């Protein structure tokens, strides 16, 4: 099973590996394409234009902006993408508390869609960076660029495997699935949860890593903690599991 996942606005300042290089990321034959985005981003940082960087980073504090802008992503040390991100979903995944076998499963089968680095395997090595969701690089839309240049590679990576799409809506702009896939929606007292959906996506990914289902039948057999299947909706290629939160 292949799982598509979102990144997080917040990052850990963790350094466990060397500098970014071609072999750090999936699809090394497309590394030159990624470099176009990364060099564009680095050039914006070097301008030290405060209003532009406020928008880019999504922060107002001038000193924090200048500190962030002084970093060079090509010189910074890296860590695994699954450890770099630290938002709600990742807090509920609690990756570091999982078994080594679960680690290996996530690192090989979870693809995270970074608005700067594009599609990443969870085990890929990336430096710390800051880029607010939905922000372009001076008009350069990274989501459109990665969709154009990386979609065929993602198709090949997925192959004929079952796909679970746990991405937030914005990250669907990076890649459109062309084969049947599964999504999940979470309801609390009959109403769709949005912000807290991140927590349940993290929880679901954790339990998937422990059970390691190979297909939809095995996925549907997992009794997810505090979740009960209410219904399954079908629309074109999508099968949406609607869960009621019972905690």
* pLDDT, position 195: 79
Tracing tokens 């598509």 back to the chain, one arrives at 4
* pLDDT, position 14: 96
Quick one: tokens of 127?
Answer: 């430096």
pLDDT tens-digit map of 36-72: 999 999 999 999 889 999 999 998 999 999 999 999 9
DSSP codes of every residue in 186-205: EEETTEE-STTHHHHHHHHH
Asked if residue 126 lies in contact with residue 112, where contact means CB atoms within 8 angstroms, the answer is no
* pLDDT, position 194: 80
Domain extent listing, the chain = 2-245
* pLDDT, position 135: 94
Positions in the chain whose pLDDT score sits under 70: none
pTM reported for the whole predicted model: 0.96
| CA 123/CA 229 separation, integer angstroms | 31
* pLDDT, position 196: 87
């Amino acid at each position: 099973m292949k799982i598509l996942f979102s990144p997080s606005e917040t990052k850990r300042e963790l350094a466990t590996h060397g500098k970014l290089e071609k072999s750090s990321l999936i699809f090394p034959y497309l590394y030159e394409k990624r470099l176009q985005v990364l060099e564009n981003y680095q050039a914006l940082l070097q301008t030290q234009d405060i209003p532009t960087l406020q928008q880019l980073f999504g922060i107002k504090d001038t000193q924090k902006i200048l500190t962030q802008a002084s970093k060079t992503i090509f010189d910074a040390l890296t860590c695994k993408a699954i450890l770099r991100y630290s938002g709600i979903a990742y807090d509920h995944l609690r990756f570091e508390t999982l078994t080594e076998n679960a680690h290996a499963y996530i690192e090989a089968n979870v693809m995270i869609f970074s608005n700067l680095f594009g599609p990443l395997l969870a085990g890929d090595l990336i430096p710390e960076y800051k880029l607010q969701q939905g922000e372009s690089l001076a008009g350069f839309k990274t989501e459109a660029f990665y969709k154009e240049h990386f979609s065929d590679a993602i198709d090949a990576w997925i192959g004929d495997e079952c796909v679970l799409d746990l991405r937030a809506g914005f990250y669907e702009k990076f890649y459109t699935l062309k084969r049947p896939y599964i999504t999940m929606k979470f309801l609390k007292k009959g109403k769709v949860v949005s912000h807290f959906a991140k927590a349940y996506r993290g929880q679901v990914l954790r339990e998937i890593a422990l059970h390691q289902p190979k297909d939809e039948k095995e996925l549907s057999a997992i009794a997810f903690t505090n979740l009960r299947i209410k219904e399954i909706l079908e629309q074109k290629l999508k099968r949406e599991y609607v869960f009621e939160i019972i905690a």
